[in-house]
Amino acid sequence: MIGLAGAGVAGIAATGGALALTSGKNPEPKPVAGIGDAVPFYGARQAGIITPAQDRLHFVAFDVITGKKAELLAMLEAWTAAAARMTAGLDAGTIGAVGGIPEAPPDDTGEAIGLPASGLTLTIGFGPGLFRDAGGKDRFGIADRKPQALADLPHFPGDAIDPRISGGDICIQACAHDPQVAVHAVRNLARIGMGVVSVRWSQLGFGRTSSTSVSQDTPRNLFGFKDGTANLKAEETALLDDHLWVKPGDGPEWMAGGSYLVSRKIRMIVETWDRTSLVEQETIVGRTKGTGAPLTGKAEFDEPDFAAVDGEGEPVIALEAHVRLAHHSQNSGARMLRRGYNYVDGSDGLGRLDAGLFFISYQRDPHRQFVPVQTALARKDVMNEYIRHVSSGLFACPPGLVAADDHWGRALLS
Amino acid sequence: MIGLAGAGVAGIAATGGALALTSGKNPEPKPVAGIGDAVPFYGARQAGIITPAQDRLHFVAFDVITGKKAELLAMLEAWTAAAARMTAGLDAGTIGAVGGIPEAPPDDTGEAIGLPASGLTLTIGFGPGLFRDAGGKDRFGIADRKPQALADLPHFPGDAIDPRISGGDICIQACAHDPQVAVHAVRNLARIGMGVVSVRWSQLGFGRTSSTSVSQDTPRNLFGFKDGTANLKAEETALLDDHLWVKPGDGPEWMAGGSYLVSRKIRMIVETWDRTSLVEQETIVGRTKGTGAPLTGKAEFDEPDFAAVDGEGEPVIALEAHVRLAHHSQNSGARMLRRGYNYVDGSDGLGRLDAGLFFISYQRDPHRQFVPVQTALARKDVMNEYIRHVSSGLFACPPGLVAADDHWGRALLS
């Protein structure tokens, strides 16, 4: 074999860091301990959902540009092998026949050589267009396997969705502690998928805005507030069963044990927010900026008291405060696991930073969880003066792969 | 004082991490030891040039939108105070009169509360438009202080420069190990400058592509190759005196001890590169992809032997190889200190990632260093098939501030 390995970079596998593996589809990574370590790829659930949120994100949505099911299946099998390798800290590996031919491109793009696994997770989701394309065609004969939960999200008041950076047939959420590792993974999947998929849109997130484990501190979004205090956490297994994971009777069998992903790119007009007084900011959010405590409490994790009134009989937490409108107690118990990231995409040509929150939530049924909460927020949240939803995505993320010879396409497509 | 400190976040100073300072303009940070630590703000040179390259970048260019010199001076004084605080791991601080008024916005946007200094450096540069605006007007009466070195860069063959993301009157290069800290700093300077400056363009870089110290490993760019092997290093003080720092006789006095910054956003067509064979990639670069050794050597830091020929009498390093065209031995000794970053700005709407290198170089005179090297590259480099220069900037970065009561505007503007 020539390819990359024969040309001076045989050290890739050895420098993977977390693992001594040199090949194979079923790595047995050691438990997560440091930020360089690997997160197991195989398991009953896909990694990257309740995995403690890594620091950096590269999210990509692809259009499927082939109509041939066999090509799509072959790509998903190749992707699975590459994902198993890259999440273990290895190169993308030999894909198809090209690896052994001197004139062929390298098996890996190389920019992550020497970097450890860095907690990389690659989470796949399937969008509505895979089941029926924009023209209504069932390209792959799977329209009858489309979950009801994947029905289009409604238009919400104030939405300014740009279709060019929305939707997609397949998404990959790449999270890692090193952005170079996340970018490398997405790029190599795009490379492997050439001719079968085309990048529709992609988004970098530089800082996590949610914690998904009680072991993590709550980070801050670009409004300067702690975000995700009331998030579902990996340790709350009973809540996860009720709100996060799809149950066998919920819809088609291939999604049992999976979860639905909603992405929303939320531009924040930070310059306007920054001219708003602290008192007003805290009134809008319903929490203090410093500690993140609800305005009725003293510490971040104090439960908000929505019934509390001040000396003049006014609610301490305003009726239109973000924390009230979004809280599960005000939304028939609807909860989500949020996993969003801060972004800055340069500037907007109007003298402002193009910055905001790339919101990601996982839930058992977006139409019973994300939709009612977002409807309440879109109608009433005073924060809407400072934000604009510019991109939207909805994807069905199947359960994890347990068997070493299973792959991302099998349950749905074969 | 009320502002942020009075509203529950008095802990900001205490959580700054690297310093016990609670206020003041002249911090005495401890030496850099870990990635959370502070880099000294005051010194004969601006920090962020030979400082070991931090992992993340937020670069911003501003247009000055006032014609009043006093306003510009006041802003630069306020910026200096805020920069001294933020680089020490503190909040941006009380700026002007607004901090003490309850209805006023907070003194800091808050998203870096609890984060350490993270090696933050803020490096300022002044662009040609500050001396004479687009209409030819000398708004601030400083046209006679414009260095010759700040003359416009020429148009290079193949340039596809977008003026909307080029140029600018003032730049700030924010580098840190935590992107949230770099973004926070730029945003707070923009906030403080409201009404005086307007964000013209900004760029995030997620991964460094150069080392500026012998203590650092050479990182990789998005072509997968090590970048900056032959870079000037902080330890090479004699070379820095010759090639990096402006000498007293070089031009106007206010720039002595400073350096000129060239920025070039270089879009890489990575999808095309990834379809190129390894042999071809290495021929184009003139180095191996694995170790980064020149094709005439065995180890990364072996000097390239441009005279070496193979058995057929052909040069081992091609006449148009990137390493040859860019090498100081082929450019009358011209050297630069490079400090670029990888970027991904989503996708390009054509199925490709919008990715590349945000190139930054510092030099004593861009017209004797950057220009001849880039001219050679633009004319001959085979790599041009895979890249496109889309943004360009040129800024004069004055020397550092030594006195606690000095500020960024004084030497040039008062």
Judged by a CB distance cut-off of 8 A, whether residue A81 touches chain B is: no
Whether residue B18 has pLDDT greater than 60 = no
- Please tell me which of the candidates A104, A270, A355 has its beta carbon nearest to residue B277: A104
Query: What are the Cα distances from residue A24, in Å, to A8, A94, A386?
Result: 21, 11, 49
Check: CB of residue A390 under 8 Å from CB of residue A265.
Answer: yes
Q: What ipTM score was computed for the predicted complex, to two decimals?
A: 0.90
Distance from CA of A351 to the nearest CA of B (A): 4
pLDDT at position B34 is 75
Residues from chain B that touch A164, judged by Cβ atoms under 8 A, are 349
The answer to whether residue B276 neighbours chain A at the CB level (below 8 Å) is: yes
Mean pLDDT value of segment B140-160 = 97
Lowest average pLDDT, out of A97-111, B166-180, B218-232, B321-335, goes to: A97-111
The token pair that represents A72 in the structure block: 């799509």
Question: CB distance from A7 to chain B under 8 Å?
Answer: yes
Residues in chain B with CB shorter than 8 Å from the CB of A102 are 277, 279
Instruction: Pick the closest to residue A111 from B37, B309, B203, B219 (CA basis).
Output: B219
Q: For the segment A297-325, what is each residue's pLDDT rounded down to a tens digit?
A: 999 999 999 999 999 999 999 999 999 99
pLDDT at B73 over 90: yes
Residue contact A202–B353, C-beta within 8 A? yes
Amino acid identity, position B161: I
Candidate from B180, B279, B346 with C-beta closest to A206: B180
Q: What confidence tier does B268 reach under pLDDT thresholds 50, 70, 90?
A: very high
- Torsion angle of C-alpha atoms B387, B393, B399, B404, degrees rounded to 10: -110
Q: B3: pLDDT confidence band, cut at 50, 70 and 90?
A: very low
Facing B106 at nearest CB: one of A165, A183, A278: A278
Confidence of residue B103 (pLDDT cuts 50, 70, 90): confident
pLDDT digits (tens, 9 = 90+) for A150-175: 999 999 999 999 999 999 999 999 99
Average pLDDT over residues B396-400: 98
Mean pLDDT score of chain B, rounded to an integer?
90
Entry pTM: 0.91
DSSP for B30-63 reads: PPP-STTSPPPS-SSS-TTSSSPPPSEEEEEEEE
Least CA distance to A5: which residue of chain B? B290
Average pLDDT over chain A, rounded to an integer:
90
Residues 135-154 of chain B whose Cβ lies under 8 A from any Cβ of chain A: none
Q: Name the minimum distance, in Å, from the CA of B264 to any CA of chain A.
A: 15
**Confidence band of A98 (pLDDT split at 50, 70, 90):** very low
Going by pLDDT thresholds of 50, 70 and 90, the confidence category of residue A102 is low
Q: Do A219 and A207 contact (CB within 8 A), yes or no?
A: yes
Q: Which residues in chain A are contacts of B224 at CB distance < 8 A? A: 106, 108-111, 113
Report yes or no: A269 at the B interface, CB cutoff 8 Å: no
Q: What pLDDT shows up at residue B17? A: 31
Nearest CB partner across the interface for A111, out of B187, B224, B291: B224
Three-state secondary structure call for residue B218: coil
Q: State the best of B4, B111, B201, B204 to mutate against chain A, taking most chain A CBs within 10 Å.
A: B111
- Counting residues of chain B whose pLDDT is more than 90, the rounded percentage is 86
| pLDDT band (50, 70, 90) for residue A22 | very low
* Structure-block tokens of residue B100: 């003490």
- Residues near A243 by Cβ (< 8 Å), separated by ≥ 6? A232, A334, A335, A336, A337, A363, A364, A369
The 10 Å CB-count burial string (b at 16+, else e) for A278-301 is beebbbbbbbbbbbbbbbbbeebe
**B67 contacts chain A (CB < 8 A):** no
A206 and B206 in contact by Cβ < 8 A? yes
Q: How far is residue B268's CA from residue B383's CA, in Å, rounded to a whole number?
A: 10
Residues from chain B contacting residue A299 (CB–CB below 8 Å): none
Lowest mean pLDDT among A107-121, B7-21, B100-114, B145-159: B7-21
- Specify whether the CB–CB gap between B282 and B269 falls below 8 A: no
CB contacts of A194 in chain B (<8 Å) are 271, 275
Range A37-48 average pLDDT: 97
Asked if the Cβ–Cβ distance from A207 to B9 is below 8 Å, we say: no
Task: Determine whether the interchain pair A353/B277 forms a contact, defined as Cβ–Cβ distance below 8 Å.
Answer: no
β-pairing verdict for B56-64 and A197-205: unpaired
Q: In this complex, which of A204, A290, A342 lies closest to B7 when CB atoms are compared?
A: A290
Q: Which of residues 227-266 of A touch B (CB under 8 A)?
A: none
Contact between chains at A201 and B347 (C-beta distance less than 8 A): yes
Does A355 contact B103 at a Cβ distance shorter than 8 Å? no
Name the band, by pLDDT with cuts 50, 70 and 90, for residue A35. Answer: confident
CB-nearest to B274 from A58, A191, A349 is: A191
Residue A186 token pair: 């997405």
What is A323-356 written as a DSSP string?
HHHH-GGGTTT---EE--EEEEEEE-SSSSEEEE
Chain B: closest CA distance from residue A250 (Å) = 34
Report yes or no: A194 at the B interface, CB cutoff 8 Å. yes
Q: Do B187 and A279 touch (CB under 8 A)?
A: no
Nearest to A60 by CA among A200, A164, A180, A181: A200
Q: What is the pLDDT of residues A284-294, one digit of tens each?
A: 999 999 999 99
User: Contact A106/A118 with Cβ under 8 angstroms?
Assistant: no
Is pLDDT at B247 greater than 80 in this prediction? yes
Residues in chain A closer than 8 A to B14 (CB atoms): none
